[in-house]
Amino acid sequence: MENYRELSRKKLTQRGVKIEDIAVLVYDLQKMYYNDLKIDRCIEAINLVLDKRETAFAVLTGIELDIAAENKSLNEINDIIESDYSLYGIDEILALSIVNVHGSIALTNFGFLDKTKPGIIGKLEEDGKKDGVCHTFLDDIVCAIASSAASRIAHDRENEKTS
């Protein structure tokens, strides 16, 4: 069986998403709570999120749907996905499969990132408007990975305090 975790990392890179770009988002979400937060700690948390099977499958599914839309192979729903139709909503729902296994801090941060679109998320959305490029699923996937990593940092820090 294919190593889906490795494959999902490779696909993210191929689609222009670097772990370092996601780490900046995580850092910005958590820096106000931890004075000593380092970017390396954010990268570590992202890697833990990416190691989850739920994440790997959501990443692979979302990216394949974006690519399929670019290739015009989604029949009647191609236009909806390619144009990132605002009432479609299934892109957010797919990304929630990552958020759902990382608790309520992940959920609230997901909504925040989806609304404010900082850094790489805004860039993905802008690039997705270009001809032949579709990032309808990818931007939500990145929101989900960043918000889940932020949640991991918050929970791990609480555990460190109480142990």
| Site residues (vs Mg ion, CB under 5 A) | 91, 136, 139-140
- We find the least distance from the C-beta atom of residue 137 to Mg ion, in angstroms, to be 6
- We find the least distance from the C-beta atom of residue 95 to Mg ion, in angstroms, to be 8
At 130, is the secondary structure helix, strand, or coil?
coil
DSSP run (H or E) holding 81: helix 78-82
Taking CA atoms, 77 is separated from 12, 25, 99, 101, in Å, by 23, 31, 25, 28
- Residue 69 or 153: the one with the smaller Cβ distance to Mg ion is 69
Task: Provide the residue type at 98 as one letter.
Answer: I
Of all residues in the shown chain, the one whose CB is closest to Mg ion is 91
- We find the least distance from the C-beta atom of residue 82 to Mg ion, in angstroms, to be 12
- We find the least distance from the C-beta atom of residue 47 to Mg ion, in angstroms, to be 24
- Which residues have a Cβ under 8 Å from the Cβ of 20 and sit 6 or more positions away? 39, 43
- Residue 43 or 67: the one with the smaller Cβ distance to Mg ion is 67
Using left for φ > 0, alpha for ψ between -120 and 50, and beta otherwise, residue 151 falls in alpha
Residue 145: closest CA among 104, 102, 112, 108: 102
- We find the least distance from the C-beta atom of residue 36 to Mg ion, in angstroms, to be 34
- Residue 39 or 89: the one with the smaller Cβ distance to Mg ion is 89
- Residue 9 or 84: the one with the smaller Cβ distance to Mg ion is 84
- Residue 5 or 128: the one with the smaller Cβ distance to Mg ion is 128
- 161 in Cβ contact with 41 (< 8 Å): no
